[in-house]
Structure 1
């Protein structure tokens, strides 16, 4: 269940995809009037999706599979993923309807009266600033909440959304018997009973103690009464929640991590409109930036996530300004300039960055003097942008406890992963080889891999063993000799200058 569509992928015993299909909410369910699968409310902050749209989408996709001749009798295991943070509110009595569903009637018809909230808050919602402040205050501040739950309070996180519903619509909350995440909601439709929330998706709620993997009583109490009974007990991400058909669920990023087959020490870098870093961690260090989640494929480890807003759009701007709009010229600039860019460093944030919170462009000479010019020479400008983007990623990853290991692989995805010269800079800055993998359906394929893992869960077989048959990533860049010496010093300078820019652009402390 993505924001804009529901998608299905089936793999065979060799982990090859042999079936896929989708239902696009805006196109195939026009009666719900969504744009991009959501409704943006008048305040510009509240963003919801109709729960019955999600229900009807499952009806449609299963009918499409049936019409295509898909043989359901051959399905051995089922797993899924849902957009993270979104929540579904089951009305008192809904469990009885779920357990007595008829295969002869559409799900939408049978579940029409089963939800206490008809429009569910989703990850794009940013209307809960007041509830975020209340939650942080209740546990002793933002850093205390991060240490407890893996993240400071975020407006899209489910606990804060639940708190808002309780405060603004207490009657609907009191008539709610169960609260599901989108992933556990989807699993519940297949189970005919309430599916538990898994550790990995539960980590995106500001409610789960990530070390102990239990709900935090302090956080539950700060959000709403009787919340623990409405959430149910969280379970490991590879739990078999029904037999004989193993199943499970996760948020889409967790499923993507499975689809990209990350292992301990690996990094996935998604180079898209915004850039996202996935990290496999053993000993996380929760901070005020980024997120720590329970690892979906290894319950002893963790997954960190860092998001950088100034991604491809920033690269495209500098391409237009310094390479006449040509990616070929952009690549030649990276080839013609040396590692370290003769000491010239740049920060390029045309929109307010998330990690760190800086806006504007700032350029520094090798002597650490801010250079008050429109731009560096074109080739220098391009390398300063790319080196700066990748150095920021490494610095902030290390702040969350990440360290490059001898066996570390970097898996690059997204539009910019087609540029080999850009990936060479990534390999040089991180000091690790870069691979690319076809991840057009990484979340769906990852879910299928996890279903396969569920079949073997009783044997305690590691996930890495399960996916050995899957297509291997392709090696595209290895670190240039001498790169580690160049960037070791440069990374320290970049971190120091980032703090200088932060202190200049940030207002006085509250």
Structure 2
């Protein structure tokens, strides 16, 4: 039996690592563990957690890497004497849009996992597709055009699913697999998103896709909260049965598999709450208030429509932390300390030098390549190293503000920027973020907001059954703290620079 006072576990399978955070009944973090794919599982040969194929558009990750990472994560928690018996519930998240293809008969393997073997040994032959397409994949332009055509155009598709066709979205990835590898598709009995895949591992059964993550597939009728048959038919035959029925994001899927009870000492009553995508999970971990903006471009906006209603919007970008790391390696000897010195050696505005750094095809704008401009708006081939460092940071932060303003954001006296992810622990990068937005930047004690959000969601999932709201669950959660404030009158620099950035982005987009 579990001891008095329970724990709640959040798990995050991101692009580069698998992380876990446990909280107690008072929402305090009591444990954190991670497995870094490139470092801890080098036998899979990934770079930054993925395989980029020769066409530079196809990007995948081996499914068994993720399975073996969960083996390693739980073993590390066990070695650290984490008390699994106190877990009341768990939930989690996965990088959005990625897909996993379970082979015929895999359900029986999941339901009958012997506790004397590791997960990756048990599931080694359970997948029809060995390499899962992930969110960085841009190889499905043809399938996107076909999907839009089949429903009467991009606007009609957006009216149904909430988005025009995007190359990374799961429906288009499924269509490509059905077209290029039809035998693999025929052998598939269930298709999971990365989020519902990890939930399935814990559940010992196929886990339902939640509404939130399911809405990023170009397959769901977002008003009916169910799959659109027109979209399904346009992608692959028999797809509805392979996906299963979607469920609300707070749903209790069942109790954890007996495998975890016997092998790790989980409480047999520990509930598995529906897993979701990394963006909504991050949102759950941030506790945005009206007028806030998060560093991944979540906005909580208030609009006077008869009565005040709250809307949450977000933009995501591919070229983020990995692009910063590349410039760090090229221009700062691979050292964050040297990177910080370069930032401090240059002034806000970078003397008019401005850059666009897209190592892979960006989502918005759909552009690839490095594009540098001097103060006269002339394109140049390179910058001095310290100028390059500031240019990549300022360019990323200006992009965040530019797209935030397109959604209706404006800086007010009470505006807060909530930073998360690896950059949230770097005060020099946060200073540029604060300066560009002309608003204070807040952070939490943990940088893993998605993982923390899922630990919160795990607790709320138990309480939602009795009608308790997520806000009620979170009322005693620790508040974020001010990390940096904007420099005085810095908006006089970045205000004009923002308008110039948008004009140059238009030029880059048209030229590409």
TM bucket normalised to smaller: 0.7 to 0.9
Alignment CA distance shift 1:434-1:224 (3 Å): same
CA contact (8 A) 2:199 2:274 kept: yes
Cα displacement (A) at 1:451: 0.8
- Distance in 2 between the 1:234 and 1:17 partners? 30
The corresponding residue for 1:79 is: 91
| Structure 2 Cα separation of the partners of residues 386 and 192 of structure 1 | 44
Question: Which stretch shows the higher mean deviation, 155-164 or 60-69?
Answer: 60-69
**Change over 3 Å in CA distance of 1:100–1:315 after alignment to 2:** closer
Q: In structure 1, what is the equivalent of residue 279 of structure 2? A: 253
The alignment status of 1:154 with 2:166, answered yes or no, reads: yes
Change in 2 beyond 3 A, CA 1:228/1:425: same
8 A Cα contact 1:346 1:362, kept in partner? yes
Alignment match, 1:241: 253
Are residue 305 (structure 1) and residue 315 (structure 2) matched? yes
Where 1:49 maps in the other structure, the secondary structure is strand
Work out the CA distance in 2 between the residues paired with 1:332 and 1:106.
Answer: 51
Kindly indicate whether residue 295 of structure 2 is the aligned counterpart of residue 278 of structure 1.
Answer: no
1:479, distance to aligned residue in structure 2 (A): 5.7
- The structure-2 alpha-carbon separation of the partners of 1:146 and 1:488, relative to structure 1 and needing over 3 Å to count, comes to farther
Preserved CA contact (<8 Å) 1:282 1:302 = no
Matches within 5 A, 1:68-467: 68-242=80-254, 245-269=271-295, 276-280=296-300, 302-307=312-317, 309=319, 312=324, 327-328=340-341, 330-331=343-344, 333-334=346-347, 347-351=354-358, 354=362, 355-356=364-365, 357=367, 360-363=371-374, 370=377, 389-402=396-409, 407-413=414-420, 417=424, 423=430, 426-427=433-434, 429-467=436-474
Contact 2:339 2:389 in 1 (8 A): no
Aligned mates of 2:210, 2:161 — CA distance in 1:
14
Q: How far apart are the structure 2 equivalents of 1:403 and 1:236?
A: 32
Q: Deviations over 1:16-59 (max 9, x none)?
A: 33233344445555555555444444555433333334334434
Separation of aligned partners in 2, 1:115 and 1:333: 51
**Count of aligned pairs:** 470
Q: CA deviation at 1:475?
A: 1.5
Structure 1 equivalent of residue 259 of structure 2: none
Q: What is residue 480 of structure 2 aligned with on the other side?
A: 473
**Mapped partners of 2:428, 2:15: distance in 1:** 33
Contact residue 280 and residue 304 of structure 1 kept, 8 A: no
Distance 1:395 1:222, change over 3 A: same
Determine the C-alpha separation between the residues in 1 that align with 2:408 and 2:223.
Answer: 15
Structure 2 residue aligned with 1:295: none
* 1:101 Cα offset (Å): 3.6
CA contact (8 A) 1:256 1:443 kept: yes
* Root mean square deviation, CA, Å: 4.1
Cα deviation, residue 166, structure 1: 0.9
Instruction: State the distance in 2 between where 1:32 and 1:137 align.
Output: 38
SS of the aligned residue for 1:205 comes to coil
Q: Take 1:23 and 1:85, find their aligned partners in 2: how far apart are those partners?
A: 21
Q: Helix, strand or coil: the match of 1:15? A: coil
| Cα distance change of structure 1 residues 464 and 263 upon mapping to structure 2, 3 Å threshold | farther
- Residues 102, 201 of structure 1: CA spacing in aligned structure 2 closer, same or farther, 3 A cutoff? same
Residues 57-98 of structure 1 show CA distances to partners (whole Å, capped at 9, x for unaligned) of 434433444454433221111011222222111223333443
Instruction: Provide the C-alpha distance between the structure 2 equivalents of 1:386 and 1:40, rounded to a whole number of angstroms.
Output: 25
* Ranges in structure 2 where 5+ consecutive residues have no aligned partner: 1-12, 256-268, 304-309
Deviation at 1:252, TM superposition (A): 2.7
Quickly say closer, same or farther: Cα 1:196–1:403, change in 2 above 3 A. farther
CA change 1:215–1:485 in 2 (3 A) is farther
Contact 1:15–1:470 (Cα < 8 Å) also in 2: yes
Task: Describe the SS at the equivalent of 2:88.
Answer: coil
1:260-304 superposed Cα distances (whole Å, 9 cap, x missing partner): 3334432221xxxxxx43334678xxxxxxxxxxxxxxxx85441
Q: CA deviation at 1:197?
A: 0.7
Deviations 1:147-193 (A, max 9, x none): 54344433332111111111122232223221111111111122222
Provide the C-alpha distance between the structure 1 equivalents of 2:238 and 2:218, rounded to a whole number of angstroms. Answer: 16
Structure 2 match to 1:288 = none
C-alpha spacing 1:54/1:282, structure 2 compared with 1 (3 Å)? farther
1:51 equivalent in structure 2: 63
